[in-house]
Structure 1
Amino acid sequence: MTDQLDLLINKIKDLENELLEELQKQQEEFSYEIQQRRIHFEESIIQRHKRLTKELVKFLQDSPWLNILSAPIIWSCLLPALLMDMVVTLYQAICFPIYGIPKAKREHYIVFDTQYLNYLNLIEKLNCAYCSYFNGLIAYIQEIAARTEQYWCPIKHARRIGTLHSRYQKFFNYGDGENYRAQIELVRRDFKDLE
C-alpha cells in the first residue's frame, strides 16, 4: 500500500471519529444520557415529547394510501432478513474460529434505541425498529463478508466500486501478483486493528 493511501485512510478514520464525537454532543443538546445501553431523557423532555406524539388514527388518516398499501411488501422482507441473520451468525460462529478471524460483534451493528422516543407512536416505533434492524443487519453482514474476503481473496477490484468496506485498504492491488503470492498469509492474519 502506498503512503498516500495510508494518509487518506487515516484522514477518513479521523473524520469518522470526529463525526461520532459530534453526534455524541447531541446528548447535551437534547437532554439525554446513555446509561447501561439505555437512553434516559430529562422528565421535562419526556413530557414535551409526549405532547408531540401523533395519535394512531390521525397518523393513519394522514398517511398516503400507497404507503399503507405497500407496507406488507416492506414487511415481507423481514422473514428473509431473519433467516439471513441466523445463517450469517451461524457461519461466523463456526468458520471464523477455524480461519482465525475475529468475530464481528452483532450488537455493534444492530442497535435498537428509538423505543425511548416518546414523540413516536406505536407504528412509528415499529417502523423505526424495522429500519434499525434491517440497516444494522446489512452493516453486520457486510463486516462479516469483508473479513471473509480479507481471508480468502484480498484483492482490490480493477473497476470502481460503489462503497468500500472496512477491510478493503488491506487488500492487494489488482494485478499485483508478486505481492499477493509473497504476502497472502500476512494479509490473511492481519486483524490486529480489531483487537
Structure 2
Amino acid sequence: MNTHLDDLLARMQHLEAELEAELARRRGEIEFVIENRRVKFAQEVMHLQRQHKVGMWRYLAQSSLAAVLTAPVIYAGFIAFVVMDLFVTVYQAVCFPVYGIPKARRSDYIVFDRTDLPYLNVIEKFNCFYCSYGNGVAAYLREAAARTEQYWCPIKHARRMVATHDRYPRFFEYGDAQAYREGLERLRQHYDTAPSGGDTADVDAP
C-alpha cells in the first residue's frame, strides 16, 4: 500500500481517537456510573432529569394521528430484526470457524442503556429499545458481512460508494490483479486489529 494512503488512514484513526476523547469528556460532565451494565445517575442528576419527563398520556395526546397509525408498521420490523439477529448468530457459528474468521461479538453492537434515562416515559423507552435493537442488529450484520467480504472478495468497487464499512479502506484497488493475488492470504489473517490500525498497514502490499 502506498505511503500516502497509510498516512491518511493513520490521520483518520487519530481523529477518531480525538473524537472519542471529546465524547468521553462530555459524558463526564453528566454524572453517572455503570454497574452490572446498568447506568446509575447521581441523585441530584436524577431529580433534574425527571423534571424534563413528559407523561405517557400527555405524550400520546401530543402525537399526530399519522404517527399513531404508522406505529404498527414500524414495530412490525421487529420480526425482521429478530430473524436477522438469529441468522447472523447461526451464520457465524456455522461458517466462520471453517475459514478461521473470528466472530463479531454481538454485545459490541447491540446495546440497551437508553431505558435507564429517567426523563423518558414508557413509550419513549420502548421506542429507544426498538431503535437500539434494530440499528444494533444492522451493525452486527454489517460487521459479519464485512468479515465475509474481507475473506472472499476484498476488492474495492470501481464506482464510489456513499457508505462503506470500516474494513473497506484496506481492500485491494479495483483492477490491481497482482496485489490481489499476492496479498489475499495476508489480508485474510488480519481481523483482530482495527482496519485502520498500524500493524495492518502492509497486508495488501505486493
TM-score bracket for this pair, using the shorter chain length: over 0.9
Partners of 2:35 and 2:14 lie apart in 1 by 26
SS of residue paired to 2:28: helix
1:28-107 equivalences under 5 Å are: 28-107=28-107
SS of residue paired to 1:157: coil
SS of residue paired to 2:193: helix
Runs of 4+ in 1 over 4 A off after TM superposition: none
Q: Structure 1 residues 182, 29: closer, same or farther in 2, change over 3 A?
A: same
SS of residue paired to 1:34: strand
SS of residue paired to 2:34: strand
Q: How many residues are treated as equivalent by the alignment?
A: 194
Q: Structure 1 residues 36, 13: closer, same or farther in 2, change over 3 A?
A: farther
**Residue 132 of structure 1 aligns with which residue?**
132
Q: Structure 1 residues 82, 192: closer, same or farther in 2, change over 3 A?
A: closer
Matched, 1:152 2:152: yes
- Unpaired runs of 5+ residues, structure 1, are none
What one-letter code is carried by the residue in structure 1 that aligns with 2:146?
A
TM-superposed deviation, 1:103: 1.1
Partners of 2:192 and 2:77 lie apart in 1 by 36
Partners of 2:27 and 2:180 lie apart in 1 by 46
SS of residue paired to 1:193: coil
Cα displacement string for residues 76-100 of structure 1 (whole angstroms, at most 9, x for unaligned residues):
1110111011001110111111111
Partners of 1:28 and 1:184 lie apart in 2 by 43
SS of residue paired to 2:160: coil
**Residue 5 of structure 2 aligns with which residue?**
5
**Residue 23 of structure 2 aligns with which residue?**
23
Partners of 2:28 and 2:189 lie apart in 1 by 41
Partners of 2:25 and 2:36 lie apart in 1 by 18
Q: Is the 8 A contact 1:53 1:119 kept in 2?
A: yes
**Residue 171 of structure 1 aligns with which residue?**
171
Cα displacement string for residues 91-123 of structure 1 (whole angstroms, at most 9, x for unaligned residues):
011111111111111111111101110100000
TM-superposed deviation, 1:33: 2.1
- Unpaired runs of 5+ residues, structure 2, are 195-206
Compute the TM-score of the two structures, normalised by the length of structure 2. Answer: 0.89
SS of residue paired to 1:33: strand
TM-superposed deviation, 1:34: 2.3
Cα displacement string for residues 14-61 of structure 1 (whole angstroms, at most 9, x for unaligned residues):
212221222222332111122342211000111222222111110001
SS of residue paired to 1:173: coil
What one-letter code is carried by the residue in structure 2 that aligns with 1:57?
W
Q: Structure 1 residues 73, 99: closer, same or farther in 2, change over 3 A?
A: same
TM-superposed deviation, 1:192: 4.1
